[in-house]
Amino acid sequence: MEKSSFHFDFAIFGTNSLCAFALNLAVFLLVRKTSALTMNVAYYNHTKLQAMKAKEAQKKSQQADEESRKLLEEREE
Q: Where are the domains of the chain?
A: 10-76
pTM of the prediction? 0.47
Helix axes 10-33, 36-76, angle to 10 degrees: 110
Q: What is the pLDDT of residues 21-66, one digit of tens each?
A: 999 999 888 888 888 888 788 888 989 999 999 999 999 999 888 8
Question: Does the pLDDT at position 7 exceed 80?
Answer: yes
Question: Does the pLDDT at position 2 exceed 80?
Answer: no
- In this structure, are residues 44 and 36 in contact, taking their beta carbons and an 8 Å threshold? no
- In this structure, are residues 42 and 35 in contact, taking their beta carbons and an 8 Å threshold? no
Read out DSSP for 12-43? HHHHHHHHHHHHHHHHHHHHHHS-HHHHHHHH
The one-letter amino acid code at 19 reads: C
